[in-house]
């Protein structure tokens, strides 16, 4: 019976347990939908607000029993302190708040965990340096101190997944943020908090390759203290898998052209007031995007320091890093409170190639195949005089009879030196390396208003009677280099190509005596690099001064007794003297004293290097002659018709199939006297614009036969081996002297001025060919003239207006009208175009009738 009773009891227990489980299950499934939590919404809102220390708003609340009892809060917003802005501190569409079970059995409702997903958190820093999470930490610290109080609401476990953390500077939202962030903040035990963060840096105003911006991880802990600034802290921060190109876009907003992988670490132990900081920065494969060097620059820098955050002071700074086969060490301190820092840099056998690699990495355009040998050693200390930087006290005036000696100048803040030994620059077409056995970098003597810099001077043999003297000035903001002396054209050409000077191509066709060089270059270290000789545009509002955002090269290069040979010229140009001026915005050859065959003159060439995007940068050439014979000019430039002379050689070269085409230029041709056969043009000036098939004569003007002539036209190169150059001219002549014109035609004319216009088409190489091929039309008007005695109508007249045709070298008078004393008459005449022109008048019809 006993066994039967025990069996019945076990069955009853099982039955009751089953019924209890069913009841619980029914409660879970049936009771929550029937229970309205609307009346608890205010209580839950107050509870979360008390836990976070911020006003909280939500749209609705739902009960959740599984897997843990809690509430689902919809459209939750945690308000911000008005001192930090109006935008919510936290906003989430859906938030789960889990309830603590033990306080619930005691009749108290407490939030144990607040979990959000896909939320937006704003971190705000005021100009005074306060963060919007400071009050949250103070609230948590206050609750920890009152942990024994029954009314204390403990801080819940806060966690966020797949969220976004935005950073604001006051009311301005910065473009920097952390996306896909996982954040946890909890109190491990009373007075001890922990924080964990993982996220991916991003910018809201740029499209970045997020896979290359790296991952940021943070682990931190805080402990209770009487004051927040004395709260003990421990922070481990790590930024891994960052690619330098995307990192520079993230930080600077633009790709600086750097490539490589970067990992950074930071470890902090101390308080919010003073902390021991350890950092490590590792980089591998660092190079520019334009090239991949054989040995990319790698470094591993470790730094230790003590930071005082309130005063922004640093002490016991020590940074070490191996670099190549050498070592670099930085020590110093920054006292804060306006006192300048004290720093010391020591380098030991750092390869000069490492310095070139560093410069090549931060600067665009440096020649990739340039090689540098040598090593750098030395120590430099920056220790400014604190008294010299302090605010001067009001002067105390001594008695009139007492005189004081002026105080000596304060010592220079920069002391020490760096020595470069065995420097050798090679590669990039240098016929022989540039060698400097020893180079000493020392602090420069500066005035009180100047910045400290390092200077060095070296002499480099360059094939001239005297070597080049190179003076260098290196400052934190940039560099300055001055070069003076003489160099052979070949060596100067190599130096120009090595430096990336844009004007280097101008030296390629030159040969002759050594050049006299007087150049200065300067620029910042980090600015976008332009080739030397290509200058920045003018600063806004100042058309003369360039904007200080790139390198500038100024000075002169002078050459004597040289030859210049271009591919599009049949012969070389002999230059007795020429000076190249390098100025901001342009290169200018002025003056150039030259001779080309029988032509002798002076010229100037402007080579603008920065033009508007809508306008081409064309060289501007101005050539000045004294007395210029047109036939001589034609022979030198276009040649003579006879095969084998300069003409045939040059014309063959002008054809695109035989040689490069002439460059596109804007040219001005001037001559004191231009001889056109028996006609002399004085103060002649023509403006030309070269095109692929010839040139456009945009305008010409001169004084001719006591008057003036001006017009425009075109010049066409021969289209085939048997072709001839062609001219099309259109112009006007004004106030020609009838006396001068009559002498040209072998006649005696007098009277008022002679005006007119005309169009002519000519082709050929010689004057005879041009005259025979002339075609076109003329119009003239002659006031109060006399061209008699024959024909009688021209013996004396008031006005003669006529049109004429030009064909086959003959000018034929067409429609014309001779007016005299109210009577009109016409005349017939022809004139030949030749070296000695001749006019023939037809017999007068009235004379024939009388006879």
Q: Are 675 and 630 in contact (CB under 8 A)?
A: yes
Please give the distance of CA 693 from its chain centroid, rounded to a whole number: 36
Q: Report the SS3 class of residue 644.
A: coil
For residue 382, list its beta bridge partners. 343, 414
Least confident of 29-33, 387-391, 498-502, 547-551: 387-391
Q: In whole angstroms, what is the distance from residue 558 CA to residue 517 CA?
A: 7
What are the start-end ranges of the E strands in 427-476? 434-443, 454-460, 468-474
For residue 603, list its beta bridge partners. 592, 623
User: Which stretches within 425-544 are classed as H helix?
Assistant: 489-499
Q: In whole angstroms, what is the distance from residue 688 CA to residue 618 CA?
A: 12
- Per-residue pLDDT averaged across 317-345, rounded? 89
Report the sign of the C-alpha dihedral through residues 301, 307, 312, 315, in that order.
Answer: negative
Terminal alpha carbon distance of the chain: 182
CA neighbor of 522 nearest in space, from 549, 498, 504: 549
Domain ranges of the chain: 1-34, 44-205, 676-850
User: What does the DSSP assignment read for 17-57?
Assistant: HHHHHHHHHHHHHHHHHHS--GGGHHHHHHHHHHHHTS-EE
pLDDT tens readout for residues 451-471: 778 999 999 999 889 999 999
For residue 687, list its beta bridge partners. 668, 699
> Which pairs from 845-851 meet CB under 8 Å and 24+ separation?
846/792, 847/792
Model confidence at 496, pLDDT cuts 50, 70, 90, reads: confident
Residue with the two structure tokens 């040998």: 373
Least confident of 186-200, 289-303, 473-487, 818-832: 289-303
**Model pLDDT, residue 376:** 93
Run of H or E residues at 637? helix 630-637
pLDDT, the chain, mean: 79
Q: Report the SS3 class of residue 787.
A: coil
pLDDT tens readout for residues 423-458: 998 887 788 888 999 999 999 876 666 677 899 999
Q: In whole angstroms, what is the distance from residue 70 CA to residue 51 CA?
A: 16
User: What does the DSSP assignment read for 221-232?
Assistant: EEE--SSGGG-E
CA distances in angstroms from 849 to 69, 844, 846, listed in the order given? 137, 9, 5
Residues 6+ apart with CB under 8 A from 730: 711, 712, 713, 757, 758, 759, 760
3-state secondary structure 358-399: HHHHHCCCCCCCCEEEEEEEEEEEECCCHHHHCCCCCCCCCC
Number of H helices, E strands in the chain: 13, 43
- Per-residue pLDDT averaged across 669-685, rounded? 90
Model confidence at 34, pLDDT cuts 50, 70, 90, reads: very low
Q: Would you tell me how many other CB atoms lie within 10 Å of the CB of residue 614?
A: 5
- Per-residue pLDDT averaged across 34-57, rounded? 70
CA neighbor of 671 nearest in space, from 705, 704, 712: 704
Least confident of 74-78, 367-371, 397-401, 761-765: 397-401
Supply 516's token pair: 């006299």
Residue with the two structure tokens 């112009």: 731
Residue 131 is given by DSSP the state B
Q: Are 479 and 473 in contact (CB under 8 A)?
A: yes
- Residue 836 in this model has a pLDDT that exceeds 90: no
Residue with the two structure tokens 């991952």: 215
CA neighbor of 364 nearest in space, from 214, 545, 518, 549: 549
Q: Are 258 and 286 in contact (CB under 8 A)?
A: yes
Q: Regarding predicted confidence, which is higher, 284 or 603?
A: 603
Please give the distance of CA 749 from its chain centroid, rounded to a whole number: 68
pLDDT tens readout for residues 260-310: 888 999 999 999 889 999 999 988 888 777 666 666 678 889 999 999 988
Q: Are 770 and 793 in contact (CB under 8 A)?
A: no
Least confident of 218-227, 356-365, 383-392, 650-659: 650-659
* CA-angle at 604, arms to 602 and 610, nearest 5°: 170
Q: Are 243 and 283 in contact (CB under 8 A)?
A: no
**Model pLDDT, residue 236:** 95
pLDDT tens readout for residues 517-571: 999 998 887 655 444 444 444 433 333 334 345 788 899 999 999 998 877 676 7
What are the start-end ranges of the E strands in 609-662? 620-629
* CA-angle at 259, arms to 258 and 263, nearest 5°: 105
Model confidence at 488, pLDDT cuts 50, 70, 90, reads: very high
Supply 413's token pair: 């803040």
What values do phi and psi take at 653, rounded to 5? -70, -30
- Residue 477 in this model has a pLDDT that exceeds 90: no
β 810-820/829-832 pair status: antiparallel
- Residue 404 in this model has a pLDDT that exceeds 60: no
**Model pLDDT, residue 359:** 77
Run of H or E residues at 16? helix 2-34
Q: In whole angstroms, what is the distance from residue 283 CA to residue 259 CA?
A: 10
**Model pLDDT, residue 486:** 94
**Model pLDDT, residue 413:** 83
Q: Regarding predicted confidence, which is higher, 24 or 813?
A: 813
Q: Are 23 and 11 in contact (CB under 8 A)?
A: no
CA neighbor of 502 nearest in space, from 533, 539, 537: 533
Maximal CA-CA distance, the chain: 182
Supply 665's token pair: 């230029």
- Per-residue pLDDT averaged across 187-207, rounded? 84
- Per-residue pLDDT averaged across 394-407, rounded? 45
Q: In whole angstroms, what is the distance from residue 452 CA to residue 476 CA?
A: 8
**Model pLDDT, residue 140:** 58
pLDDT tens readout for residues 317-328: 999 988 878 889
Q: Are 726 and 764 in contact (CB under 8 A)?
A: no
Q: In whole angstroms, what is the distance from residue 533 CA to residue 500 CA?
A: 9
Q: Are 221 and 204 in contact (CB under 8 A)?
A: no
User: What does the DSSP assignment read for 139-202?
Assistant: HHHHHHHTTT-TT--PPPEEEEEEEEEEEEETTEEEEEEEEEEEEEEEEEETTEEEEEEEEEEE
CA distances in angstroms from 289 to 22, 206, 364, listed in the order given? 70, 20, 9
- Per-residue pLDDT averaged across 80-106, rounded? 78
Supply 679's token pair: 């006609």
- Per-residue pLDDT averaged across 162-168, rounded? 88
Q: Would you tell me how many other CB atoms lie within 10 Å of the CB of residue 786?
A: 17
**Model pLDDT, residue 93:** 84
Q: Regarding predicted confidence, which is higher, 637 or 258?
A: 258
């Amino acid at each position: 019976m006993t066994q039967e009773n025990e069996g019945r009891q076990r069955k009853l227990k099982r039955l009751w347990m089953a019924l209890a489980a069913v009841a619980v299950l029914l409660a879970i499934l049936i009771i929550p939908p029937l229970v309205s939590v609307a009346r608890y919404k205010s209580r839950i809102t107050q509870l979360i607000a008390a836990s976070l220390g911020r006003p909280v708003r939500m749209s609705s609340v739902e009960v959740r029993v599984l897997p843990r009892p809690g509430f689902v809060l919809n459209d939750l917003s945690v308000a911000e302190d008005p001192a930090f802005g109006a935008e919510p501190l936290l906003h989430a569409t859906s938030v789960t708040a889990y309830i603590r079970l033990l306080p619930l059995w005691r009749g108290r409702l407490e939030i144990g965990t607040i979990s959000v997903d896909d939320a937006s958190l704003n971190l705000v820093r005021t100009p005074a340096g306060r963060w919007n999470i400071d009050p949250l930490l103070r609230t948590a610290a206050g609750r920890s101190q009152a942990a024994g109080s029954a009314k204390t609401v403990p801080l819940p476990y806060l966690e966020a997944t797949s969220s976004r953390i935005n950073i604001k500077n006051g009311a301005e939202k910065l473009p920097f943020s952390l996306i896909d962030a996982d954040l946890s903040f909890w109190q491990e035990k009373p007075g001890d908090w922990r924080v964990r963060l993982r996220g991916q840096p991003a910018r809201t105003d740029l499209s970045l390759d997020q896979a290359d911006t790296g991952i940021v991880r943070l682990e931190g802990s805080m402990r209770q203290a009487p004051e927040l600034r004395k709260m003990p802290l421990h922070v481990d921060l790590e930024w891994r898998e960052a690619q330098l190109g995307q990192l520079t876009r993230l930080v600077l907003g633009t790709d600086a052209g750097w490539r490589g992988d970067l990992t950074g670490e930071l470890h902090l132990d101390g308080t919010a007031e003073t902390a021991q900081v350890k950092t490590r920065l590792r980089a591998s494969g660092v190079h520019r995007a334009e090239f991949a060097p054989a040995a990319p620059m790698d470094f591993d820098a470790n730094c230790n320091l003590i930071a005082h955050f309130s005063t922004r002071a640093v002490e016991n700074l020590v940074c070490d890093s191996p670099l190549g086969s050498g070592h670099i060490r930085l020590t110093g301190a920054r006292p804060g409170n306006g006192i300048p820092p004290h720093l010391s840099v020591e380098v030991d056998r750092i390869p000069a190639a490492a310095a070139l690699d560093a410069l090549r990495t931060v600067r665009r355009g440096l020649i990739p195949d340039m090689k540098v040998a040598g090593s750098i050693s030395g120590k430099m200390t920056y220790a400014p005089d604190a008294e010299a930087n302090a605010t001067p006290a009001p002067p105390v005036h001594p008695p009139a009879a007492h005189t004081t000696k002026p105080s000596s100048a304060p010592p220079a803040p920069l002391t020490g030196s760096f020595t470069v030994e065995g420097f050798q620059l090679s590669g990039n077409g240098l016929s022989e390396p540039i060698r400097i056995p020893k180079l000493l970098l020392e602090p420069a003597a500066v005035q009180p208003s100047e910045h400290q810099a390092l200077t060095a001077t070296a002499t480099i043999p360059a094939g001239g009677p005297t070597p080049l003297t190179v003076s260098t000035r290196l400052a934190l903001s940039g560099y300055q280099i001055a070069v003076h002396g003489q160099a052979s054209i070949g060596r100067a050409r190599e130096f120009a190509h090595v430096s990336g000077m844009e004007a280097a191509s101008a030296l390629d066709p030159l040969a002759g005596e050594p050049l006299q060089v007087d150049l200065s270059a300067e620029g910042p270290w980090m600015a976008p690099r332009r080739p030397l000789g290509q200058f920045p545009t003018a600063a806004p509002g100042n058309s003369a001064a360039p904007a200080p955002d790139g390198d500038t090269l100024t000075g002169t290069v002078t050459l004597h007794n040289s030859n210049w040979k271009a591919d599009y010229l049949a012969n070389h140009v002999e230059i007795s003297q020429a000076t190249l001026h390098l100025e901001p915005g342009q290169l200018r050859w002025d003056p150039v004293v030259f001779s080309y065959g029988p032509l002798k003159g002076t010229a100037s060439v402007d080579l603008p290097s920065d033009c508007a995007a809508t306008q081409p940068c064309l060289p501007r050439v101005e050539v000045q002659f004294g007395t210029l014979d047109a036939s001589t000019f034609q022979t030198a430039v276009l040649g003579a018709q006879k095969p084998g002379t300069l003409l045939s050689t040059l014309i063959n070269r002008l054809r695109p199939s035989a040689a490069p085409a002439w460059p596109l230029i804007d040219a001005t041709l001037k001559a004191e006297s231009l001889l056109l056969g028996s006609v002399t043009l004085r103060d002649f000036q023509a403006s030309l614009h070269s095109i692929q098939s010839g040139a456009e004569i945009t305008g010409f003007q001169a004084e001719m036969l006591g008057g003036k002539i001006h017009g425009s036209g075109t010049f066409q190169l021969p289209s085939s081996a048997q072709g001839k150059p062609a001219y099309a001219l259109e112009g006007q002549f004004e106030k020609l002297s009838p006396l001068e014109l009559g002498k040209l035609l072998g006649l005696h004319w007098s009277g008022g001025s002679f005006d007119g216009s005309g169009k002519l088409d000519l082709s050929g190489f010689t004057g005879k060919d041009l005259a025979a091929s002339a075609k076109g039309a003329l119009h003239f008007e002659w006031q109060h003239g006399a061209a008699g005695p024959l024909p009688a109508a021209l013996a004396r007249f008031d006005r003669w207006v006529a049109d004429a045709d030009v064909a086959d070298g003959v000018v034929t008078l067409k429609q014309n009208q001779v007016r005299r004393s109210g009577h009109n008459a016409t005349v017939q005449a022809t004139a030949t175009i030749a070296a000695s022109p001749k006019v023939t008048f037809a017999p007068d019809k009235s004379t024939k009738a009388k006879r």
